[in-house]
Amino acid sequence: MTYVLGIDIGGTGIKAAPVDLSTGTLIAERVKMDTPHPSLPAAIAEVVHELVTGFSWTGQVGITFPGVVIDGVIMTAANVDKSWIDTDARKLFAEATGLEVAVINDADAAGLAEIKYGVGAGTKGTVLMLTLGTGIGSALFIDGILVPNTEFGHIEIRGREAEKRASELIREEHELSWGKWAGRVDEYLEHMELLLSPRLIIIGGGVSRKSGKFLPLLTGLRAAVVPAAMHNDAGIVGAAMAAA
């Protein structure tokens, strides 16, 4: 069996748990810590260190980041401090933990988990995973192969970035009804369908646990739209997969 520690960095929280990659399941209770504010590289590295230490972990570690990640270097940072841009996160986290680490975009990680272990398993053609949380993350798959760092949450809808209209954070901050928020999500999904013609759209993030409140309100989509099977654990599992 292969056990890897997965750490999922988000704009508001950082979650971690060891993962059994033979089954895609967590083998210990998930631990969550608040994302530091300001979310500077050194501050987040310290949280990562604390999580690794808390699990007494000495093996491989996979870490997600909410932005474009190329060869371990952060290229964008929409929902964390801009000082992350051009930071070698793989080197930073390796030095903070003393361990071998891998770094991957957070939505890409969640998508990898759902494609292998979740609702996307075995689906051919184009599959789009969207995580609705602090922002909107995206992961695009063609016949199960990831097209990395798509960042479709920044597509413009009505003159604004989609994640500034249809993320879970926006629903909470503006106290939108489920119906009104579903209308915004619907408009965004229709736009993505015009661009990509996916066979399947997977909705992830913490709000996927409440899918019954908004998915039935979506209209006019040809693609099947389903909640992520792994809910908010998908990023942790996908991070572990990236390390292995």
Does the pLDDT of residue 1 top 80, yes or no? no
Residue 203 lies in a domain: yes
Burial 205-228, CB ≥16 within 10 A → b, else e: bbbbeeeeebeeebeeeebebbbb
What pLDDT, in 10s, does the model give residues 180-230? 999 999 999 999 999 999 999 999 988 999 999 999 999 989 999 999 999
Asked if residue 82 and residue 135 are part of one domain, the reply reads: no
| Residue 236 pLDDT > 70 | yes
pTM, two decimal places: 0.94
pLDDT surpassing 80 at residue 79: yes
- pLDDT, mean over the chain: 96
- Per-residue pLDDT tens over the stretch 86-133: 999 999 999 999 999 999 999 999 999 999 999 999 999 999 999 999
**Residue 194 lies in domain:** 122-228
Q: What is the DSSP letter of 152?
A: G
Q: How far is CA 183 from the centre of its chain?
A: 22
Amino acid 11: pLDDT: 87
- Residue 130: inside a domain: yes
Cα gap 239→66, rounded to integer Å:
12
In a domain, 11, yes or no: yes
For residues 188 and 217, membership in a common domain is answered with yes
**Is residue 85 one of the residues assigned to a domain?**
yes
DSSP 22-89: TTTEESS--EEEEPPSS--HHHHHHHHHHHHHHTT--S-EEEEESS-EETTEE---SSS-GGGTT-BH
Same domain (yes/no): 7, 100: yes
- On whether both 103 and 128 belong to a single domain, the answer is no
pLDDT at 206: 86
Number of domains comprising the chain:
2
- For residue 184, count other CB atoms closer than 10 A to its CB: 18
How buried is 29 (Cβ within 10 angstroms: 0-12 exposed, 13-18 middle, 19+ buried)?
exposed
Residue 105, both tokens: 């975009």
The arithmetic mean of pLDDT across residues 238-242, rounded, is 98
Q: How confident is the model at residue 232 (pLDDT cuts 50, 70, 90)?
A: confident
pLDDT score at 67: 95
State whether 67 and 139 are in the same domain: no
> Within a domain: residue 220?
yes
Percent of the chain having pLDDT more than 70?
100
The answer to whether residues 88 and 182 belong to one domain is: no
Q: Is the pLDDT of residue 39 over 90?
A: yes
Residue 145: count of CB within 10 angstroms of its CB: 8
DSSP state of 167: S
Looking at the structure, tell me whether residues 206 and 239 fall in a common domain: no
* 82 in a structural domain: yes
Beta-bridged to residue 145, according to DSSP, are: 142
Q: Where are the alpha helices (DSSP H) in the chain?
A: 41-54, 89-97, 106-117, 163-166, 168-173, 178-196, 234-243
